[in-house]
Structure 1
Amino acid sequence: MDQAADDWAPHSAHWGAFSARWNGETLDVTPYEGDPAPSPILQNFTTAMRHKARILRPMVRKAWLDRSARTERTFDQEFVECSWDRVLDLLASELSRVKAEHGAAAVFGGSYGWSSAGRFHHAQSQVHRFLNMAFGGYVRSVNSYSAGASAVILPHVMGGYEAVSRHNVTWDQIAEHSDVVLAFGGMALKNSHVASGGISRHIERDAMATAARRGAAFYCISPLRDDMPADANARWLPIKVGTDVALMLALAHTLLTEDLCDKAFIERYCTGFENFERYLRGRDDGTPKDAAWAADITGISSGTIIDLARRLPRGRTLIAVSHSLQRAQYGEQPVWMGAVLAAMLGQIGLPGGGYNYALGALGHTGRRINAVPIPTLSQGKNGVSEFIPVARVSDMLLNPGEPFEYNGRSMHYPDIKLVYWAGGNPFHHHQDINRMRQAFNAPQTIVVHESAWTPMAKFADIVLPATMTLERDDIGAAGTDPRLVAMRRAVDPIGEARDDFDIFAGLARKLGVEQAFTEGRDSRQWLAHLYEPTRKALVEAGWDAPDFDEFWRRGELALPSAPDDGGFLRAFRNDPAANRLSTPSGKIEIYSKAIASFGYDDCPPHPAWLPSTEPPSARHPLTLIANQPATRLHSQLDFGAYSQSSKVAGREVVRLHPDDAKRRGVANGDIVRLFNDRGACLAAAAVTDDVMPGVIQLSTGAWYDPERGATEQPLCVHGNPNVLTRDIGTSRLAQGCCGQVTVVECEKYEGALPSIRAFDPPGQR
C-alpha cells in the first residue's frame, strides 16, 4: 500500500481531513475540499517530517545502561545509539525482571490518547494491548486531563457523561431553535478545531453565524473576549476567573425569587431541590446567593445579573459549560450548577435548549453520532485492578502505598518500578513540572515510543523511534464524523523509525508471546480486519459497503448518521418513568445522597460556591489562564511551521491587559518573566484589551525547555505554563486536573536571553 512520491495521499489528523504530497523537502498539504472551515493547524505538517527534532534510531540513556550508580535523570545526560535487536533484548530483559521481582502492578502504562487519528496505529491502544497480552496487565489511569471533574460528577447528577456532552444538543438545533446561548467559558473555535479520530467538516462557526443572523443572543462569560468567535456577535461578560458558580447561583436566585423557574419540571424530573433551595436562600448560613452577593465576587453588576436572569425564560435557552471551568479547584461545582440552572429553566431535552456540557470544547460535541461502528483495536483484558485518576501521576510516583480518596472509594497508590509511555508528553499535560521531575525520577526505568525528542523522550531511559502518522497506512474515523478516511502513507519513515505495532510485535517475539499480540496478522491484514465490522454494518443498513481494497482505492467512504433526536435526555423528558436516568433516583440529582455519604468537605452534596484556596495576593496579583493553544493540538508538532509562526523571539506569547502591562513597564514584544513559588518561565508579551484586567493568558503546549545548569527550579526559557500550575486534585470526589488557572507575577526580563534548545536532540554518543 505504498504511496507513489508524486501522488496526493488522503489522510486525516485530529484537526482535519486532508491530502498530502511529499515534494522532496517538505510536505504539501491540502485540506479536505468538503470542509467549510479547515483548521490551519494542518500546516504544522509541512516542515515536521524531516525536522531536527525527529528521533532517528533507538537510544538508551548512558547512565541507565551503565547501572553503576543511581543517577538522577536530567535533560542534559548522554544517550547511546543501539541497534533494534539489542534494544529489544534490553527491554525484554527489563520487563521480565520487573515482572518477576515486582509483578505486573509495578508497571504504569501511561500513554495519553492523542498521538494519531488512525484507529490501528493508535499508540494508547497499542501499548495497552501489548501490556495486557504480553505482560498480564498494567496500572492504568482513568478519566482525562480535559474532563477529569466532569466525567465523575455528571454520572452522579444526570446519569452519564456522554449523554450530556455528545449525545444531546447539536449545532443544527442551535442554528434553528436556540434564542439564548449562555456560554460559561465561551466556545472558542480553536478548541472545536480538534476531534479525536479526525473531523472532515468544521461546522461550529457557520452554525453560530446562522443562529446569530436569525436573532439568537450569545453570551460569552469569560475573562477572555475571544473565547467566542466574532461570527456569533456575542455579548462579552468579563468575569473574574473561577467565579462562574457564584454567577450561576445568583441567576438561579433571581429565577426563584421572581417566580421565573419551572417548578413543574423540577417536581417531575429532579430530586433534592428543597435542600438546594435552603442554601440558595441562605436559610442556614444567613447569606442569600442573590445578585448583590454575586456582584462583589464576579465583578459583574447586580443589575446585569438580574436583567440576564429575567431574559433566560423568555425563549429557548441553552446553558453551556466549557471544559475550562472544571480544570480548576472545585471544578465539579460549575458543571453541577450549570445543570441545576438549566433544570430551573425547565428546557432540558428540548431542541436547542437545556444543558450541554463542553459544547464547542471539542469537534466531537454538537454533532450527530454515526449509525454504524467505527474501526476499533481491542486492547484485551487487563489483569491488574489498580488504577489512578490520570492527573494524580506525580502523587502516585512520589507516594507509593499512600492512601487517597476517589469517588467514594479509599484507595492506595501502587509502587511503580517501570513506566511505559507511547504517544504522549506529560510535560505538557501535567501540572507543577518541577514536582513532576522529582516524580519521574522515582521509577527504575522509563520507556518511551516517540517520533520526536519531546521532553518526555529526553527524560526516558529507553527511547524507541516511532513513525509519524504520514509515514504509515491507517484508517481515520471518529464516532461523530460521517466519513471514513484511508490514511495512506505520504512519505517513507525517517531513519530507523518503526510503527508502534511493529515495535511491539518484535518485543512480543522476544518475550515469546508474538501470536497473542499480533494474532498472526501484519499491519495491512489488521486494517482489513478492523474495517470489516464497519462494512458489515453498512450492508445491514443498506448503505454503500465496498470491500477493503475498493475502500482503500477510493480513499474515503461516507458513513450514515443517527437521527438528531436529542439522545437520552429527550427520551427522558418525553417519558421519565420509562427512560429513567442512571442516577439512584432515576432523576436529575440536584442534591446527591451518594455524595453526601462520602462526607467530602471539598464537594458538598449540592452545588455550592467554594472560593479557591490560592487567590491573587500582593506577591502574585495576576491570575494566569493556561488554556489550550490555537496553533497546535496540545504540544503536538510545536516545532511545526504554523506553531512556530505564532512565537516571538522563538517563545510562546503571553497576553495581558494594557493597564497591567503599563504598571509593569511592559510593551508589545517584550520578553517577560512569569513566576510564583513553584517556578518561572519566559514568554513574549502581547498587550491587548481582549484580556480583562488582572488576568494574564499563556497557552499550554510550548515544549518544556529548562535553563541549563539550574537545579531546583530551572527557568523554562520557552514558555511552558505548567512550571507555574498547582498539582492538586479538583476535590476528593474526582481528583481531576487543576491546570487551567493559577496566580503569578510578571516582570520585564532584563539581560541576555537564554537560547532555546527545546527541539535539539539530547547529548548523544
Structure 2
Amino acid sequence: MTVTAIPHSSHWGAFDALVEDGRVIGVRPFAGDRFPGTLIESVPDIVHSPARIDRPYVRRGWLRGARSGARRGGEGFVPVSWDEAIRLVAGEIDRVRREHGNAAIFGGSYGWSSAGRFHHARTQLQRMLNAAGGFTGQVTNYSYAAGMTLMPHIVGTNDCIQGPATDWPAILANAKLMVCFGGLPLKNGEVCAGGAGEGQYRRWLREAAASPLRVVNISPLREDTPEWLRAEWLPIRPGTDTALMLALAHAIVAAGKEDRAFLATHCVGWERLRAYIMGEADGVAKTPEWAAPITGIDAGTIRALAAEMAASPTMITAAWSIQRQDRGEQPYWMTVALAAITGGIGRPGTGFAFGYGSINGVGNPRLDLPVPQLSAGRNPTGLWIPVARITDMLENPGGVCEYNGRRIVYPDIRLIYWAGGNPFHHHQDLNRLLRAWARAETIIVHEPWWTALARHADIVLPATTTLERNDIGASSRDRHVMAMKKAVPAQGLARDDFTICADIADALGVRAVFTEQRDEAAWLRHLYDEARTTWTRAGIETPDFDEFWEQGFVELPAPERPFVLFEDFRNDPRKNPLHTPSGKVELVSETIGGFGYDDCPAHPVWMEPKEWLGAPLARRFPLHLLSFQPATRLHGQLDQGRVSLSSKVAGREPILIGPQDAAARGLATGDVVRVFNDRGACLAGVVVREGILPGVVAMATGAWFDPLVPGQPGALCVHGNPNVLTRDEGTSRLGQGPVAQSCLVEIERWTGDLPPVRVHAPPSIVEAR
C-alpha cells in the first residue's frame, strides 16, 4: 500500500500524518520545525484508540427517568441513532429554556479543544447556544485566573500574562540576570494553544545557555529548568514566593538601591507599600531573616540575590503555576512591585513578565496580527461565573459569588452542555464535583473518547478528531498559519462539532443564524480571507486561500526590532499612560482596596496559605503535593497514547519524591503508593529523584480519572488523578482562581492487589432500555 503524507497541526506541534489504507500509521515533524517535540508520536494511538466513541449513546438511567440526583458514571449506555440523539438534545435545550430560561443552561466547555480555529468545539457549541437564546458561561481560565483578574488593576492590561511579552532576543541582548519564580520548565514548551510551526521555546533556552545570562530557578523542583541551562537552583517552600519577594525588596530598599526616580514618576502607592515592607505599617520588617524560616532559603542567599538584582539589568519572571495557590494574586502583584523597585519596567530585556516556561511562544518575536478564528457571537443572557467556581454554582443555586468587585448570583443550572475540555481533568476536588454534578437534570457531551467526562454524561455524541476534518491552525504566539488537512475518514459514526451543532440548531429553528449558510469549506475560506485582509492592510503580502491550502502553511514575517513590554510607557508616562485609574503602575490599588476584601487588600502582602508546610495540618499530612503540566501529554489529551503510557509506573501516574522522604517511608522507585488526604485518595507509581525539596512530592495532571467504584464520590482513583486531592476554593474574592498548588497529602505503600486501570477502554454498553 502507498503511504501518503498529509499536512496537519496540533497544540503539540505541526506534522505530516502518514496514512496507509485509511489509517494513520505514523507522523513526521513539519519540515520547518527545527525543534520538534515528542508528543506528536502519540497521534496514531489517539485516532485509532480503543477508547473511541463509535456512535451516539444515552445513559440508560436517563432514558428511564433517573435525572437529577442520579449516580452518573456507574451505569451502562444505550446506543441510539443520530436522528434520535439530535431530537433528544434539541428537546432538552428547548424544554429547559422554556421552563427555566436560558440561564439554566451551562455552556461549559473550558479547555484546549482543537488547534483548529474553525472546528474549535467550545466556540462551535457556544455559537449554537447563543443562536438559541444564550446560556450561562465562564470567564478567565484555570491557567492564570488570579493574575488575569489582578493585572488590569495594576498595569491596565493582561498583555504581561497573555502576550505579547518582552521578546527573548531583547532579554538575551540586554539582561544580565533572569530571576525565575517557578523556573523555566522545558516540558511546557512542548505545547501551544492553536499550534506552532516551530518549537521556539527550546531554541531560546539553548541560546540563553550559550549566552552570559545568569538564570536563577526559584522552585521546589530543580528540574524546573533543564540541566544544560546551568541555572542556580534556590529550593523554596511551595506557596512562599511572596515572602521571598518582600524580603528581596526589603534588602534592596535597606541598601538604598531602589529606583526612586521610577517609583516617583511611574508608580502610585510606593510610600505605603514601602512602609509595609520596612515594617513601619505593621511592626514586622520583611527582612531576609524574617523570610528565611518561611521560605527555607538562607537569609544571606536572599541578601546576595537582592544585591545582584539591584546592580544588574534583571528580568523577573513568574510561571503561571505560582498564582494557582492560596492568595495567588499576591506573588503576581509583588512581582510587578519588585520590578518597579529595581526600575527595570519598560527597559529592553528587563522588568517583569509572566508565562516564560509556561507555554511555547511566550517571548517569541511576532507582529501583532490577527489569525483566522471563528467567533462565538454575543451571549444574549450576559451571564457568567468565574471559570473555577463550577461546583459552587451547582451546589448553591441562588447563592452569591463575590468576584472582582461584583456580586454574582448563581443560576439554577438544569442542563450542562460540554464540548471541548474536561472538568474531570481541570477541576479541583473531584469528589465534591461528583456530588454537585448529580444535581443537573441532563448532561450532554461531545467527545471523541470515553473520558471521565463522557462516562459521567447522559447524552454522549461522538466527535471527530482533528485528523478527520479540514481546518486552519494558528496561534497568536506563533508566526505560522497551518493547513490542517483531513487525513482519514471519520471513525465509526463520529461527526464534527460544526455538523452536530448545525443539526441541533436546525431542530431549534436557528440553523441559518448558526451557519450563516456556509459549509466547512466556505467557512475556512472566509476566515482565512478575513485575516488576510488585515495582513494586507498592514503591508504584508500573503498567498490567497487556494495557494495557502496547496502550500500547507503561511509564515508571517518577524518584527524588525524586539518588542519590549511597557517601553512606550517607560519613555513617556504622560503621553503613553497605562489603562489604570492613575495611568501608572498601581503598587497600591484604591479600587481593590475599595472592594473591602480581607483576602486581597490594597497592596501586596504576605498571608499564610491554608495548606503549606508551615500549617498545623502538615502534622497530619506532611507532604506538599505539586501538580504540574505533564511532559508526556497535554493536560489529559494523549493519555492513551504511547508517549504517556510509557511513562506510567505499574500502569499508574508517577509521583516524584526525594530520597529523604522516600527513605523515611521505606519506598523505592517502582513501588505503588496510596496518596491521600481528607478529600480523597489515588494510587501512584513511585519515582525517587534528586532535586526535590524535602517535604515536597509532585505528580503530573491528566491521568484519566478512574474511580475504583464508578460513580461513587470518595472512591479511590486507581489511575492517579491528583485532582481527587486538590482543594476547590478560590484564590481570593478578587480573582476566584483555582488553588491546586496549595495541597497537603501523605503517602503510604499499597500492599493489596493492584486494581486494573479500566479507563482507556469503553464503559458498559447495553442494548436494553
Once the two structures are superposed, what CA deviation does each residue of 1:99-143 show, in whole Å capped at 9, x if it has no partner?
11011100011012411100000011101100001x211111000
Larger mean CA deviation between 45-54 and 579-588 belongs to 45-54
1:478-489 equivalences under 5 Å are 478-489=475-486
1:630 aligned residue: 631
Q: Deviations over 1:577-630 (max 9, x none)?
A: 011101111000001101111111111111111111223422100000011111
- Give the whole-Å Cα distance in 1 for the aligned partners of 2:69 and 2:385: 27
On the 8 A contact 1:113/1:123 being kept in 2, the answer is no
1:493, distance to aligned residue in structure 2 (A): 1.0
Matches within 5 A, 1:79-228: 79-133=77-131, 135-163=132-160, 165-228=162-225
Query: Structure 1 residue 733 and structure 2 residue 730: aligned?
Result: no
Q: Which amino acid aligns with 1:556?
A: F
3-state SS, counterpart of residue 388 of structure 2: helix
Distance 1:564 1:410, change over 3 A: farther
Moved more, 445-454 or 155-164: 155-164
1:282-681 equivalences in 2 (<5 Å): 282-566=279-563, 569-616=566-613, 617-681=618-682
User: What is the letter of the counterpart of residue 728 of structure 1?
Assistant: E
Matches of 2:30 and 2:217, distance apart in 1 = 30
**Letter of the aligned partner of 1:98 in structure 2?**
V
Instruction: Give the Cα–Cα distance (whole angstroms) in 2 for the partners of residues 12 and 675 of structure 1.
Output: 39
For 2:654, give the aligned amino acid: V
Q: Which residue of 1 aligns with 2:709?
A: 708
Classify 1:712/1:462 alpha carbon distance in 2 versus 1 (closer, same or farther; 3 Å).
Answer: closer
Q: Distance in 2 between matches of 1:654 and 1:265?
A: 45
CA drift of 1:32 comes to 1.5
Q: Counterpart amino acid of 1:697?
A: A
Task: Give the Å deviation of 1:208.
Answer: 2.7
141 and 165 in structure 1: CA distance in 2 versus 1, 3 angstrom threshold: closer
Residue by residue over 1:79-98, the C-alpha shift from the partner in whole angstroms, topping out at 9 and shown as x without a partner, is 11010011101111111110
Q: Is the partner of 1:741 in helix, strand or coil?
A: coil
**What amino acid is aligned across from residue 431 of structure 1 in structure 2?**
Q
Contact 1:171 1:204 (8 Å CA) reproduced: no
Give CA-to-partner distance per residue, 1:704-760, whole Å, 9 cap, x none: 000027844100000000000000000000100111230000101101001111112
Preserved contact between residue 370 and residue 479 of structure 1 (Cα < 8 Å): no
1:540 counterpart letter in structure 2: R
- Among residues 258, 262, 286, which one is paired with 1:261 in the alignment? 258
Q: Quote how far apart the aligned CAs of 1:526 are.
A: 0.6
Write the distance in 2 (CA, Å) between the matches of 1:161 and 1:530.
26
Counterpart of 1:686 in structure 2 is: 687
**One-letter amino acid of the structure 2 residue matched with residue 729 of structure 1:** G
Structure 1 position 633, deviation (Å): 0.7
Q: Which segment drifts farther, 407-416 or 727-736?
A: 407-416
Q: Give per-residue Cα distances to partners, 1:623-655, cap 9 Å, x unaligned.
A: 000111111111012101111111111110000
Residue 57 of structure 1: SS of its match in structure 2?
Answer: coil
Query: For the Cα contact (< 8 Å) 2:216–2:233, is it kept in 1?
Result: yes
Q: Pick closer, same or farther for the CA change 1:213–1:567 going to 2, 3 Å.
A: closer
Contact 1:626–1:741 at 8 Å: present in 2 too? Answer: no
Amino acid of the structure 1 residue aligned with 2:306? A
CA distance in structure 1 between the partners assigned to 2:78 and 2:421 by the alignment: 22
TM-superposed deviation, 1:207? 2.0
Partner Cα separation in structure 1 for residue 120 and residue 559 of structure 2: 26
Aligned counterparts of 1:74 and 1:541: Cα–Cα separation in 2: 52
The alpha-carbon deviation at position 21 of structure 1 amounts to 1.4
Q: Is the 8 A contact 1:370 1:480 kept in 2?
A: no
Distance 1:371 1:696, change over 3 A: closer
Partner SS for 2:124: helix
Tell me if the contact between 1:32 and 1:200 (Cα under 8 Å) persists in the aligned partners: yes
Could you report, residue by residue, the CA deviation over 1:417-463 in whole angstroms, capped at 9, with x for unpaired residues? 10110011100000000000011111110000000011001000000
Partner of 2:61: 63
Change in Cα spacing, 1:593 to 1:540, as seen in structure 2 (3 Å) is: closer
Q: In structure 2, the residue corresponding to 1:8 is in which secondary structure?
A: strand
Aligned residues: 761
Provide the identity percentage: 48
Q: State the TM-score, normalized to the length of structure 2.
A: 0.97
**Pairwise CA distance, 1:400:** 0.5
Quick one: distance in 1 between partners of 2:676 and 2:500? 41
Cα 1:741–1:41 change in 2 (3 A) is: farther
Range 299-308 or range 551-560, more displaced: 551-560
Alpha-carbon distance in structure 2 between the residues aligned to 1:284 and 1:568:
32
Q: Which amino acid aligns with 2:80?
A: C
Rounded to whole Å, the distance in 2 between the matches of 1:69 and 1:188 is 44
TM-score of the pair, normalised by structure 1: 0.97
Greater Cα offset, 562-571 or 427-436: 562-571
Preserved contact between residue 11 and residue 19 of structure 1 (Cα < 8 Å): yes
Superposed CA offset, 1:541-587 (max 9, x none): 44443221221111111213445453550110011001110111100
Q: Write the letter of the residue equivalent to 2:632.
A: T
Deviation, structure 1 residue 393: 0.3
Counterpart residue number, 1:15:
12
Deviates more, 1:81-90 or 1:29-38: 29-38
Do the aligned residues in 2 keep the contact of 1:350 with 1:566 (CA within 8 Å)? no
Q: Aligned partners of 2:280 and 2:538: how far apart in 1? A: 57
Deviation of 1:534 after TM superposition, in Å, equals 2.2
User: SS of 1:231's equivalent?
Assistant: helix
Measure, in 1, the Cα distance between the counterparts of 2:309 and 2:663.
Answer: 39
Structure 2: distance between partners of 1:576 and 1:416: 47
Shift of 1:68: 6.0
Deviation of the 1:219 alpha carbon: 0.3
Unaligned runs of 5+ in 2: none
Distance 1:749 1:592, change over 3 A: same
Q: Distance in 2 between matches of 1:48 and 1:357?
A: 32
**8 Å CA contact retained: 1:178, 1:211:** no
645-654 or 159-168, which deviates more: 159-168
Give the distance between the partners of 2:369 and 2:596, measured in 1 at CA: 43
The separation in 2 between residues aligned to 1:260 and 1:82, in whole angstroms, is 71
- Retained in 2: the 8 A contact 1:182–1:218? yes
Retained in 2: the 8 A contact 1:371–1:561? no
Q: How many Å separate the matches in 1 of 2:486 and 2:184?
A: 34
CA contact (8 A) 2:176 2:212 kept: yes
Shift of 1:385: 1.9
- Deviates further, 211-220 or 439-448: 211-220
Q: Does structure 2 conserve the Cα–Cα contact (< 8 Å) formed by 1:718 and 1:756?
A: yes
Please tell me the residue identity of whatever aligns with 1:63.
G
Distance 1:281 1:618, change over 3 A: same
SS of equivalent residue, structure 1 residue 214:
coil
Kindly indicate whether the alpha-carbon contact (under 8 Å) linking 1:36 and 1:201 is maintained by their aligned counterparts in 2: yes
Unaligned runs of 5+ in 1: none
In structure 2, what residue type is equivalent to 1:387?
W
